[in-house]
A and B are shown apart, each in its own frame.
Chain A
Amino acid sequence: MKIAVCVKEVPDAGPARRMDPDTLRADRSGDRSLNPFDLNAIEAGLRLKDAAGDGEVVLVCMGPDRALESMRRGLGMGADRAVLITDEAAAGSDLVATSYVLARALEREGADIVLFGQQASDSDGAVLWSAVADRLRMPVISQIAEFDVADGRVIAKRQTEFGYDRISAPLPAVLAVSDAVNEPRFPSLKGIMSAKKKPQDVLSLADIGVEPDRAGTAGSRTTVSALSPPPSRGDMQKIEDDGSGAEKIMEFLLERKLV
């Protein structure tokens, strides 16, 4: 079974998550790591490969060249190979452009299952998989809380606004898993040691046959034009629990006449 997992490099969570006011793009200067939601997708891929008894898990990313370092975390978890599409001309890609580039890269891989995480923590889009699936002309199931693969089909359970759905689809298929689908493993020491030696292809747009006007700003159809702070919620306090946290909450509730 061949499994491709689409992963993104994102700014670390915490105070550094912000946009660059000059470029109107995500600020990529701080520490970066693999999108935490993609760890669930990698874990799902590794378990599928284990269950099948053979196969390959390939990580596929479009991003800046140093994203390879973030991808090593996934190799350390046990993925077999990394493919990074990196190109000056890909910077600033929106959904239309990103889905096009990834689809071209995925076509080369010919995976039985293409996995996505629940959302990118820096965009909260949760839309990319269905754009990629449309370009690959493959069935798609998103927001998967549980799934099984057997006899060339996947059956998945997922939540919608109306409760739970069970959906079945033949392979090859595009699957986007939720952050409740599994508990991602930590890379073992041995995994971390071997990660550097695993195959890591760094490809340009030309290498995967993407015309320059289909990627980056040229291939994008959306713009960001202004930034402003959101309306404030008024007075907010944040305190560290030094053993008196419960008392502080109690005082606050009494003050507001909530008890």
Chain B
Amino acid sequence: MSTLVFLEHDGSSIPKGALGVLSKAASLDSDSAAALVGSGVRELAPEAARFGAARVFVAEDPQLEAPLPQTRVDVLSRLVQEQGFDTVLFAASVLAADVAGGLSARLDAGLNWDLGDLVIENGELVGKRSAFGDTILVDVGWTTTPRIGLIRSGSFDPAEQSSAGEVIDVDVAIEDFSTAAALVARDQEEQAGPSIEEADILVSGGRGLGSPEAFSLLEELAAALGGAVASTRAVVDSGWYPYPTQVGQTGKVVSPKLYIGCGISGAIQHKVGMQTSQTIVSINKDPHAPIFDFSDLGVVGDLHEIVPKLTELVKARRG
């Protein structure tokens, strides 16, 4: 195997998820390489070496500054072809998924996504993927090389090791259409109040609340329980609740003692942010909502009826 791991970064650090995939790759192939693509990213190379990269390919160019996918497809497709990598791995993210998809088309290379594990069976790389809302585990493979894999968030932890981390510069050549899309602004929302990652109890609300006003029901329950309020991307994108409260792939990963999901369907991208909660209770009016597949207690019903009653019961108990 000769593996290349794409390392996303925010300019100053590499997310844990990407380092985890790199460490996993190093455990399967001691000669694993990493790709750092951007502007001013060379200084991140030692970090890549620390978590398993024998070689670090650095592509630096002002055109690569914006974290947009298509320029990265140009860089990676050349690199994979010139160096003959047979496997290219990504930690799932909005950027990584778009890069992986574009690379798959550019190289006519098979892409398997949502992989929770990678193993070698009979000398072949096999991906373990859960499908259909995690109701089934599937073994997936590739018929040709290069093989492309997108790893589900949180699957592998970074493991420190001392790898050579030889830095190699990459020539950058970018297609015209790849720079057509341009980043206009990046808004980072400031955190207000305590982080949901610290709360022992989270009362979380989704689109089933029906309106931003209904979040007050959850705030009252959270106050009675001594917890905090969390949310889904659907309500954050709709402007109902602030981004720092969002749980999931593009939000926070939480593992409280108790997670009460109200009006949340339980999409995979939400689940990856809360599945390690010790106890999960959910209220949803759709008996087939996927969240019931991973709730310790699921109540099929209307949250507008149940939540206020529960708040009263908790208050009465606490006196």
Contacts and interface: CB of A to CB of B under 8 A. Distances in A.
A154 to B, nearest CB: 9
Interface stretch (A10-18, A75-83, A194-202): A10-18
Range for the number of chain B residues in contact with chain A = 35 or more
B243 interface: yes
Contacts of A19: 131-132, 136, 138
A144 to B, nearest CB: 9
A159 B237 contact: yes
B14 interface: no
Interface in A214-259: 220-230, 233-241, 245-250, 252-254, 256, 258-259
B133 interface: yes
Contacts of B281: 249, 252-253
Nearest to B296: A236
Interface in A130-184: 130-135, 137-143, 145, 155, 158-170, 173, 178-181
Contact of B314 (A158, A161, A220, A259): A259
Among the interface residues A19, A131, A173, which one has the most CB atoms of the partner chain B within 10 A?
A: A131
Among the interface residues B132, B133, B225, B260, which one has the most CB atoms of the partner chain A within 10 A?
A: B132
Interface in B204-243: 225, 233-238, 243
Nearest to B268: A124
Interface in A93-149: 94-96, 99-100, 103, 122-135, 137-143, 145
B164 interface: no
Contacts of A173: 180-181
B308 to A, nearest CB: 8
A227 B137 contact: yes
A258 B258 contact: yes
A77 to B, nearest CB: 20
A131 B69 CA distance: 11
B150 A127 contact: yes
B305 A95 contact: no
B1 interface: no
Contacts of A236: 292, 294-298
A230 B136 contact: yes
B133 A17 contact: yes
Given A127-B113, A159-B237, A227-B136, A139 B180 contact: yes
B183 interface: yes
Given A96-B105, A122-B132, A161-B15, A167 B182 contact: yes
B174 to A, nearest CB: 13
B130 interface: yes
Interface residues of A, number: 86
B100 interface: yes
Nearest to A94: B110
Contact of B181 (A140, A161, A259): A140
B141 A18 contact: no
B180 A221 contact: no
Contact of A240 (B134, B288, B301, B313): B301
B132 A222 contact: no
Among the interface residues B15, B260, B310, B312, which one has the most CB atoms of the partner chain A within 10 A?
A: B310
Contact of B94 (A132, A143, A239, A259): A143
A259 B317 contact: yes
Contact of B237 (A178, A235, A249): A178
Interface string B177-216: 1001111111111000000000001000000000000000
Contacts of A24: 138
A226 B95 CA distance: 30
Contact of B238 (A94, A123, A124, A180): A180
Interface string B51-83: 000000000000000011110010000000000
Contact of A133 (B70, B100, B184, B249): B70
Contacts of B235: 180
B238 A165 contact: no
Contact of B100 (A17, A127, A160): A127
Contact of A96 (B110, B134, B300): B110
Interface in B74-108: 93-95, 97-102, 104-106, 108
Given A127-B100, A167-B181, A96 B109 contact: yes
Contact of A129 (B101, B180, B233): B101
A226 B188 contact: no
B111 interface: yes
A245 B105 contact: no
Interface of B: 10, 15, 67-70, 73, 93-95, 97-102, 104-106, 108-114, 126, 130-144, 150, 175, 177, 180-189, 201, 225, 233-238, 243, 249-250, 257-258, 260, 268, 279, 281, 283, 287-288, 292, 294-302, 305-307, 309-310, 312-314, 317-318
Given A162-B10, A168-B181, A241-B299, 16 more contacts: A19-B138, A127-B97, A127-B111, A133-B70, A160-B94, A162-B186, A167-B68, A173-B180, A173-B181, A221-B108, A221-B109, A222-B143, A234-B296, A239-B300, A240-B301, A249-B281
20 contacts: A17-B132, A127-B101, A134-B101, A140-B69, A145-B237, A161-B94, A161-B249, A221-B142, A221-B143, A225-B141, A230-B135, A239-B298, A241-B306, A245-B309, A246-B306, A246-B310, A249-B297, A250-B313, A256-B258, A258-B279
